[in-house]
Structure 1
Amino acid sequence: MSRRSLAIAAATATALTAGLLTALPSASAAEVRIHDIQGAGRQSPLAGQTVAEVPGVVTGVRGYGSARGFWFQDPDADGEAATSEGVFVFTGSTTPTVKAGDSVRVSGTVTEYVPGGASSGNQSLTQITKPTVTPVESGAEIPAAQQLTADEIPDAYTADGDLNALPLKPDAYALDRWESLEGMNVSVTDARVVGATDAFNELWATVKPDENPTRRGGTRYGSYTSQNGGRLQIQQLVPISEHPFPKANVGDVVTGTTEGPLDYNQFGGYTLTSRTPVETEDRGLTRETTREQDRDQLAVATYNVENLDPGDPQEKFDKLAEAVVANLRSPDVVALEEVQDDNGAKNDGTVSAEATLKKLTDAIAAAGGPRYDWRQIDPADKQDGGEPGGNIRQAFLFNPDRVSFTDRAPGDATTPTEVTTVKGRAALTHSPGRIAPADAAWKDSRKPLAGEFVFRGRTVFVIANHFSSKGGDQGLTAATQPPNRSSEARRTEQAKLVNAFVKDIRGKQRSARTVVLGDINDFEFSATTKALTADRALRAAAYELPRAERYSYVYQGNSQILDQILVSPSIDDFDYDVVHINAEFHDQNSDHDPGVLRFEP
């Protein structure tokens, strides 16, 4: 059973049993068609009412999971662009007995179901619940699909405000156009994949191929006002046991015509649910390899290794090692994020990650890379967030043949490192050390790891970060626009602490070289990044990349920056590369792409 089926069924059942959907007098069967149910807004004017003998033709059946049901559509459209002619009939855990092409009449209660619950901020899905289905005939002609093309979806994404209170303007806004087609039979032809197949057998494609393209086939999210309205999630109604979903990468093509009802769910919004097996064509996307650093260049990299622990298959360690050696060309320093303790998610008080790091560094050496040494600080048990019991943290790997680490009274989970001077130069009181670990900004979150490295006689301060996640933020298809990004406030406070620490280093030594890097969990244009770079304490390396290269993560078909490297003003000449080896591929070893910075200290 998929996470979507569970979520849909649970929320709908809760609403019904809690009496949240109050029945009003029945609407007359003679006057009610599907477009009357859908209305010209996002919510049905008949919500809460019972309707009888609503006619239509079945366009798709979801016969698996606990959120079963079918879509049906009125073949006699009313000609109004804002009113959808299709709607979902929710049958819960009961498998529908209808099939595509059946002409039926449906009686039941009109409801507005919010995928993910009201707190998610999502739009609602109009549906008929507690249905009684009366068959009329089999083999009826399925209403012609609305072809989704670049011209069909407006360039403007949405109006601002409470969308539920606004009339639909499908010719003006992309979100309104999608909503006007909710529940209807739609199709795409030869659509480019912009989000690889995931573990839930779904992918993302675009019907607007010229919308902020990356050079590798994706669609870049470059600002809060470039939401990319051509993105569309694609699933299939055919059971995976009968026809496996294709394993597609970004840049591949969903071949031929893919047709089925347009759904709306909490895990991406508008979704084409294909009646027939989805087919894709491999366009040959390959993993990137960066260049090797010059002899006089220090190479510093960041890599989120996604909840790595010794219990993971050896294959994961081997692929991570191959990436470090072959794709990143063995950087001198690698800041790792999401290193778990020695027994992973087992919640027994273990906090050491020595076994995790040994297994990874052994794999790197076996792959032909350097024998990396490491530094890290064990967190206090269950205090740094992440997977329960995993005790994730940042760690430094470094090549002792190229760079040395300056150990200064190594800190612990709760003792902050401070900036002092040694022989007139900036130094850390604890190296490695954590920045302000007791500050409320880091509650249930990873604390920054700071350390001093020496390359060719010059000290470089490196600060590895993993800021708080975006959990709790509203999605791009939220009912209120712009959506609430509540998690940003926490990351902004974290960024201010790191910014102050960097300024403290520079205050002690103006020429000090500092690299701040890691999974910032926010965009290069975000308030978080603005707080990191305030007073020109740091410079975001992402802005030195061509626009089409500014991404390290793909979410809901949007290629975007989450992982960043920032440098202090004294590092004024550098080479930065985000190495695309994971985020665009269905067979990811991590969901993040690593990045590497090269410069001469």
Structure 2
Amino acid sequence: MRIGGFLVALGACCVASSGYAAEVTTIPKIQGLGHVSPLDGKVVRFEGVVTQIRDKTFFVQDPIGDGNHLTSDGILVRREPVGLQIGDVVRVEGSVEEQSGGFGEFSTTTVTRSIFTKIGSGAIPTPVTIGASGRKPPTEVIVSATGSFDPERSGADFFETLEGMLVTIAEPIVVGPLAKKSNAFYVVADRGANATGMNSLGGITATPGDANPERIRVQIGKPFVPANFLVSVGDQFSRLGGVVITDGGSYGIQLQSHAEYVPKVWQFPPVETQPSADVLTIASYNVENLDAKVEEPAKVPSTDDVDDDVGAKKFAAVADHIVKLLGAPDVVALQEVQDDDGGELSDEVGAEKTLRTLTDAISAAGGPAYQAVSLNPVDDAEGGQPGGNIRLAYLVNPQRAVVDANLAKRIGDPSFERTRLPLALPLKFHGTEVMIINVHFSSKSGSDPLYGTIQPPKDSTGLIRIGQARAVREFIRSLPADGRRSVVIVGDFNTFWYEEPLLLLTGGMPDLRNMALDNEPLDRVSYTFQGNSQSLDHALVLLGEGQSAEMRTLHVNSVLPEEKQISDHDPKLLSITFKR
């Protein structure tokens, strides 16, 4: 456009390929059919109604559309919306560009290097309803295996047809609590009535072949702030409104309106069983970078690495979970215990102070005087937060089990490079040996996004975890024969119950039993990631003669917003009954 007064009002503005005349078109024609605009790289001119305003960008929607539900009527304009209000009719000129937030993520069709002018006011388009009374998203397939554009079956394609458009999510239920860093939570429409994989907690569980494309990410920004939306799994709204965006590796909405919020009242009943002479109880708990030091800012890479677990009463809260909810188990297997100076970059590797602070907190909460058992890692060689030297550790009640800390052993293998080595600890319970192996396999971090251009998404450490499972299996095979011995593997496997590392350990020799399989498939959960309830923490057992076992997961963290979590994992409690 060449409108002199307009350019003066906004200042100089560059439009890509300014030597060429802009193509006069419509938003639906810019969006086209599919994930990439047929006008990508072209300079275009179009008109529409402003539907949402952000700090540096705004959304525009064609008030009439083209009548084709396979093409979107909305688009994102990257230009500071000076003087604009929702409902303004604007003429925009700029360059069409497909922009992606990260490698492998689907792109967003945007108009960049743009100028605009207000030409009037108009009615805001009626939002498209997502739900049974409008358009229902697919429930199983995220990206079509054929590569064809199929909004009826592919979740990514379905939401692409709504990119940049105003929508209303009907009767949403929260399936992923608010994450602090991203300021986002996840919902499904219709209280989950038309979703597959809804579990008894009110969340939605990832299962083989079903990554739940009906999950919708709700991104919070101005004028809303996260404090208004400390939502938990199971919370409900009558509706949520916003504009469909691609962000954080998934599709969702930029929140614009909400109505009738009804929170779920979460109660966490304690384990009611009393200690029994014939029952050994073993808990497993990832305590998420627990340390007793307030890091000095000059000694950490970023101020984000400074925390105060003592001042924030995290030690007291973990102690309450162990004593009052888990019933002061005979053994507690811990993951992610940091060294004594936390995330500071130093030569410190010991965790005596960290563990003593925890055992003191447990005693103050009315628990037993636990004996801590841990072996130091190699400095900065086993992953986790830089400088933190996270490791595996045990708390053992010496009044209930006999343990010799000198017999603790780390299981070494090349597959554990840059990862925590498993910690094996034999103990005696009424004269019978119990070999406990505490694991923290390699994280799935760095894997391809579920909503991504790389399909099927690659698990970046899947082969590594298979090697780690094999190393643990070989250690068990090397144990001397003992028909009365119990072997227990607990911890954070970073592996779903149906993936190969766990299948290696629960099939063949030794034939361990995954206690999670006693639960219904949809309730095998201990962690929530991007709205998907998942099973990363497990308890595997190889029982001796005359022994039986049961396990329960206490969902005290994964259902809550990050601000209210003690850890991002739920603890597990295993009970083994011995025949005397």
Q: State TM-score, norm by structure 2.
A: 0.88
CA root-mean-square deviation: 2.2
Change (3 A) 1:514 1:99: same
1:271 lines up with 2:252 in the alignment: yes
Residues in 1 aligned to 2:493 and 2:400: alpha-carbon distance in whole angstroms: 27
What is aligned with 1:435? 411
How much has 1:548 moved relative to structure 2? 3.4
1:206 lines up with 2:188 in the alignment: yes
Secondary structure in 2 matching 1:523? coil
Residues in 2 aligned to 1:489 and 1:566: alpha-carbon distance in whole angstroms: 20
Change (3 A) 1:285 1:186: same
Q: Give the conservation status (yes or no) of the 8 Å contact 1:474–1:483.
A: yes
Q: Give the conservation status (yes or no) of the 8 Å contact 1:25–1:50.
A: no
What is aligned with 1:562? 536
How much has 1:126 moved relative to structure 2? 1.0
How much has 1:27 moved relative to structure 2? 7.2
Q: Which moved more, 1:581-590 or 1:469-478?
A: 469-478
What is aligned with 1:101? 87
Residues in 1 aligned to 2:186 and 2:395: alpha-carbon distance in whole angstroms: 35
Counterpart AA for 1:133: F
How much has 1:125 moved relative to structure 2? 1.1
Q: Which moved more, 1:305-314 or 1:200-209?
A: 200-209
1:132 lines up with 2:129 in the alignment: no
Q: Which moved more, 1:278-287 or 1:180-189?
A: 278-287
What is aligned with 2:167? 186
- For structure 1, which runs of at least 5 residues remain unmatched after alignment? 1-20, 411-430
Residues in 2 aligned to 1:24 and 1:568: alpha-carbon distance in whole angstroms: 72
How much has 1:23 moved relative to structure 2? 5.7
1:477 lines up with 2:446 in the alignment: no
Secondary structure in 2 matching 1:324? helix
| Mapping 1:414-563, distance limit 5 Å | 431-436=407-412, 439-505=413-479, 508-537=481-510, 538-563=512-537
How much has 1:114 moved relative to structure 2? 1.5
Residues in 1 aligned to 2:567 and 2:227: alpha-carbon distance in whole angstroms: 23
How much has 1:523 moved relative to structure 2? 0.3
Residues in 2 aligned to 1:248 and 1:340: alpha-carbon distance in whole angstroms: 29
How much has 1:291 moved relative to structure 2? 3.6
Residues in 2 aligned to 1:275 and 1:197: alpha-carbon distance in whole angstroms: 16
Secondary structure in 1 matching 2:487? strand
| Mapping 1:124-273, distance limit 5 Å | 124-138=107-121, 140-150=122-132, 152-161=136-145, 163=147, 166=148, 168-199=149-180, 200-207=182-189, 209-210=192-193, 211-223=196-208, 225-240=209-224, 244-253=227-236, 255-265=237-247, 267-273=248-254
What is aligned with 2:60? 72
- For structure 2, which runs of at least 5 residues remain unmatched after alignment? 1-14, 294-308
Secondary structure in 2 matching 1:264? strand
How much has 1:481 moved relative to structure 2? 2.5
What is aligned with 1:14? none
Residues in 1 aligned to 2:575 and 2:82: alpha-carbon distance in whole angstroms: 59
Residues in 2 aligned to 1:446 and 1:279: alpha-carbon distance in whole angstroms: 46
How much has 1:29 moved relative to structure 2? 3.5
Q: Give the conservation status (yes or no) of the 8 Å contact 1:236–1:276.
A: no
Q: Give the conservation status (yes or no) of the 8 Å contact 2:144–2:153.
A: no
How much has 1:90 moved relative to structure 2? 1.8
Change (3 A) 1:26 1:271: farther
Counterpart AA for 1:99: Q
What is aligned with 1:294? 276
The partner residue of 1:386 within 381, 384, 387 is 384
Secondary structure in 2 matching 1:196? strand
Residues in 1 aligned to 2:106 and 2:477: alpha-carbon distance in whole angstroms: 43
After superposition, give the CA deviation of every residue in 1:87-137 in whole Å (9 maximum; x if it has no partner).
11123xx46542221111111111111112x3xx21111111111111112
1:90 lines up with 2:88 in the alignment: no
Residues in 2 aligned to 1:123 and 1:542: alpha-carbon distance in whole angstroms: 35
Change (3 A) 1:397 1:263: same
Change (3 A) 1:304 1:331: same
Q: Give the conservation status (yes or no) of the 8 Å contact 2:319–2:365.
A: yes
Change (3 A) 1:535 1:133: same
Change (3 A) 1:133 1:22: closer
How much has 1:153 moved relative to structure 2? 1.2
How much has 1:327 moved relative to structure 2? 1.0
What is aligned with 1:320? 318
Residues in 1 aligned to 2:19 and 2:425: alpha-carbon distance in whole angstroms: 70
Residues in 2 aligned to 1:492 and 1:207: alpha-carbon distance in whole angstroms: 37
The partner residue of 1:341 within 336, 339, 342 is 339
Q: Size of the alignment, in residue pairs?
A: 538
Residues in 2 aligned to 1:277 and 1:236: alpha-carbon distance in whole angstroms: 11
Q: State TM-score, norm by structure 1.
A: 0.85
The partner residue of 1:594 within 568, 571, 577 is 571
Counterpart AA for 1:521: N
How much has 1:483 moved relative to structure 2? 1.2
Residue identity over aligned pairs, in percent, reads: 35
After superposition, give the CA deviation of every residue in 1:444-482 in whole Å (9 maximum; x if it has no partner).
110000011111111100000111101111121112332
What is aligned with 1:428? none
1:577 lines up with 2:552 in the alignment: yes
How much has 1:175 moved relative to structure 2? 2.3
Change (3 A) 1:22 1:531: farther
Counterpart AA for 2:286: N
How much has 1:240 moved relative to structure 2? 4.3
1:57 lines up with 2:49 in the alignment: yes
Residues in 2 aligned to 1:122 and 1:214: alpha-carbon distance in whole angstroms: 28
How much has 1:227 moved relative to structure 2? 1.1
Counterpart AA for 1:238: K
Q: Give the conservation status (yes or no) of the 8 Å contact 1:59–1:101.
A: yes
Change (3 A) 1:444 1:539: same
Q: Give the conservation status (yes or no) of the 8 Å contact 1:290–1:577.
A: no
Counterpart AA for 2:570: D
How much has 1:576 moved relative to structure 2? 0.6
Counterpart AA for 2:555: H
Residues in 1 aligned to 2:83 and 2:498: alpha-carbon distance in whole angstroms: 51
